[in-house]
Structures are given as C-alpha cells and as structure tokens.
Amino acid sequence: MKKILIFLSFSSFLLFGFKPQNLKQQKPKLVVGIVIDQMRYDYLTRFADRYGEEGFKRLLNNGFSLENAHYNYIPTYTAVGHTSIYTGTTPDNHGIISNNWYDKFLKKTIYCVDDGNYKTIGNNSTAGKKSPFRMQTTTVTDQLHLAQNMKGKTIGIAIKDRSAILPAGHTANAAYWFHGKEKGQWVSSSFYMEKLPNWVTKFNNNDKARDYLKTPWNTLFDIETYTNSIADENIFEGKFIGETSTSFPHDIPNLKEKNGNFDIIKGIPAGNSFTADFAKAAIVNENLGKGAQTDFLAVSFSSTDYVGHQFGPTSVEIEDTYLRLDRDIADLLSFLDKQVGLDNYTVFLTADHAAVDIPAYLQSVKIPAHYFSTSKFRDAILKITEKYFNSTELIENVSNYQVFLDKEKIESLGLNKNKVADKLVDEIINLDGIYKAVTAKTLQTTRFSDGILNSLQNGYNQKFSGDIMMIPYPATLTGGRTGTSHGSGYSYDTHIPIIFYGNGIKKGVSKKKYDIIDIAPTISNLLKIEAPNSATGKIIDEALKESIR
C-alpha cells in the first residue's frame, strides 16, 4: 500500500507539479495599441446594453480591464495623451506639454509635430512636414525596435498627424495620417520614407473616403431607442456649417463642400471605419505579425474626438458614434484572428483623455460650471502689472492656463522675476475663473505628492513650461457655449478605459487606481524588453499571465 501511495504521489508531481525550466511563454507576433480619442470611461458602462458581443464586450469579457485608471497630469490634450501612453511618463519628462504651446526660445507658438526639415510624402501639400523630434524620450515602440536590433516593423495610423507620429516613436518604419480638404489621402513624411508604398497609393486611388461621404449620417438604430442621451434637438450642441438643426439626419453629401470637403469625414463615425480599413490594409500589405520578430501597430481613432467637441458627451451623436465604433472594433478583432492568429497578438485599448459635460448643459441642471475668457484674463493681469510694477510689458504670452514672463523686460526695469511671479500669483488667485495658481519656482522646490497640484506638477516641464501655472474651477471651458472640450486634471477629463487583451493577458478586472503611464512598462514587461528610457509608470502585474521560464 505504501508503495502505491508513493507511486501516486510521484505521478501527481509529474502531472501537476513539475514545471520545466527551459520553456518560455511565446511573445506575441503583433502588438496593437488602440487609442480612442476623447473616450470617457463611462462610455463603456453607459452604452453597455447596446454593444454587441464581439467588440468592447469581447475585450472586457476575455481581457483585463482597469476600472479606475486615470491621467495623472495636466493638460489632458491629444498629443500629450498619446505621448504619455507610449513613453510611460509625464510631460515633465517627455517634453510634449500640449498640442500647441508657446516656445519661449523661438518666441512663437509651435505645433507639437511640425518639422520644416521634412516634406510631405503622398502629395504636394505641407501636411507631411512633420516628425517626432520634440518628444525627448523613447517610446515602447522604440524600445521594441532596439531590443530586436531594429528588426520587426512599427507603424502608426490615425486621422490626426500627432496621433500617428508620437505613438510610433523615433524609429518607426512608417506613420500615416489623413489629409482631407481637397485631397482625401493618407500621407506621410520624408522623416520615414522617400515615397508611399504601392499599397498606400492603391488605397488612396480606390477613393474610399469619397465612398464614405455619399450617404447621410443617420442613426444606426431607431432614434427612439437612444435613451442614454438627451433630446436630439437641443441648444447645447454645435452644428455643421449649413445646418439649421442639431438633429438627425446629417446630410453629409450636401454638407461636404461647406465643411472642408474631405475634412468632414473626420467629424462623423465613418472616419473611424475609414481608419480601420486603412489599418487592415497595413496589416495585410506589411505582413504584420507574420515575421520572426514582434511587430507593433499603433492605431488611433480620432473621429470620436471631433464628434465629442461638436455635440458633447450626452448627445445622440456620441451614442451613435460609439455603437458604430463597437462594430469597427469587432471587425478589427475578427480580422486579426484570421490574419495573425487568435493567440499571436496582444491588444491594449485606452483613450488619450476624456471630456467634460457641456458647461451650458450643466448650468441648465443647476450644476456649477463656467466659461473662461483668456483675452479678458490677459487684460486683467496687465492691470495688475501696471498697478504693482508700473508696466504693461512684463507678460510675454498667456496660453494653456500658463503665463510666460518677459524676463528681459523685467531685468531691464531692475525687477526680480521671482518677486514679479509671486505677486502675480497672489493677485491672480483673486480673479474670476481661477481656482489655483502657483509659480514655476514653487513647482521646482515643493513636491506635491497627490491631488490636482500633483497633476499640475507632473505636467510642468522646467525647460518648456511657463512661469505661472493655473487651474480653473471644475467644469470650465474656454470658447463658445455649444459642444465640449478637455484639458483639465479633474476626473471627467482623467478617467479613461484601459483594457489589455490577448497573448500573455489574464481575464479579469481591477478596481485599483492605475495611471496612464503604467501601460508602457506593462507592455514592455510582457515583451521582455526595457521600458522607455524615462518611464515612471509601474508594471500592472495583475493583468499579466505568469511567464513560464
């Protein structure tokens, strides 16, 4: 009997307890990063009963979802978001401090990816004079290339140039974005290539963009079923040029000419479908996921942002856009199954920021909300400098809730720049619309460990940012009273989805607090490569399967 028990124990050890030490979990052949522009986390829950089983629900049910993921810096803009996702760090390190910002060295406002050293590839416009040179750190896509001795392919795709260029990194094989207007073409930059691949030229020649603009935008389902939104016709939403109503249907064929011709595709759900079409063409024609090395495809769906800006988070248009995007994602996942193989790819899905409910709408239901005038604010601080320093020439620029001082003028008047900044902060906090204000010196010498001032500090770059940083009241926007925007460090702008799915990913959910900068270190760990060179995020180990070593 004793011999039998020993035999059974040994057999059990062989069957269940023995772990060979020379086996390794196979890396994915393809990583697909999906960034949805302006996606609030609650779009996953608010529209849950309307999504199909193969899109968002497939990712949620079979992947690992972070329900309490946030951006941990200010400002929450598109370029900053995409950069932070892929670098695993915040603007204080990576250097992309906004979409556009005042360059205190050049003395002018610059755009994050403009680069006059390169030319457009694909047409004769200036749309391709771009590169990622202002991004000061590496991305996870760069690190993958370095780890594989520059083998494997990295491609970035988005309607917006910044959303394709910054995720793809400095070493990308290609980045493509959409040039609308009269062109209706996918283009690139000579930073990446000397001419478009034949497959891109063929895709452009097929004139798919024009096909998507041949039919009006009507709701996918009976409009009476859109109960997760406010009334279709209301005073809080914007209109396309030429429309007299905010309600469906939107007559895209007849509105096209007055709304930038091919540019109109950016602001309708068809722009997301068009992006998915181009991404699938890239997967096939570049043989992504078919080689010996791991490839990386960075895809950003930009049309959600344009729709959100115009119509707002509670609109029927947003609800319809996400129901249609759900189908696009389902189609893309099915395509990956067939083209790359179910177990051969890993996906992460997130957003570059969220958005605030339209302040005018919030005001209508008695929730505090505000509109801020930058021009009136500038006039007010000029009065402050005149009162205390007898000059209206001490301010060089006011933008992005930052004040840049004219240090040469301050010095010429025998003033101390730190004392000028301190006095301005003391007075600015009394102005209408400003909730918090700190000097750059304070951010350099004091550590805010949590809260919104910590987010402000994470977004402050000592080399590029202004001399005074400000935070408005919650639910504040600049601009008109229709539509929405983003940029703050409040939860409505910071709370976004993060879902991992596929090779190496567990099924599950977490309610722990995670930051957007945790994605890049997690994917780097999955791929067994170094994290980006300035990464400050942490590995989300509960989302990863145990490696077999």
Instruction: Give buried/exposed letters for 289-324 (b at 16+ CB in 10 A, else e).
Output: bbeeebbbbbbbbbbbbbbbbbbbbbbbbbbbbbbb
Q: Provide the β-strand partners of residue 83.
A: none
Cβ-proximal residues to 129 (8 Å cutoff; 6+ apart), any chain: 114, 115, 116, 118, 119, 120, 189
DSSP for 15-49, written as a single string = III---TT--PPPPSEEEEEEETT--THHHHHTGG
Given 76, 78, 522, 536, which residue is catalytic?
A: 78
User: How far apart, in whole angstroms, are the C-alpha atoms of residue 210 and residue 351?
Assistant: 28
Residue 78 annotated in active site: yes
Rounded to whole angstroms, the Cα distance separating 226 from 207 reads 32
* Residue 138: partners with Cβ closer than 8 Å, 6 or more residues away: 87, 146, 169, 170, 532, 533, 534
Q: Which of 240, 390, 204, 276 is nearest to 36 (CA)?
A: 276
Distance CA 181, CA 488 (A): 31
The one-letter amino acid at 51: Y
Q: Which of 508, 547, 535 is nearest to 66 (CA)?
A: 508
Q: Is the distance from CB of 85 to CB of 359 less than 8 angstroms?
A: no
Parallel/antiparallel/unpaired status of strands 476-478 and 370-372: parallel
Active site residues: 78
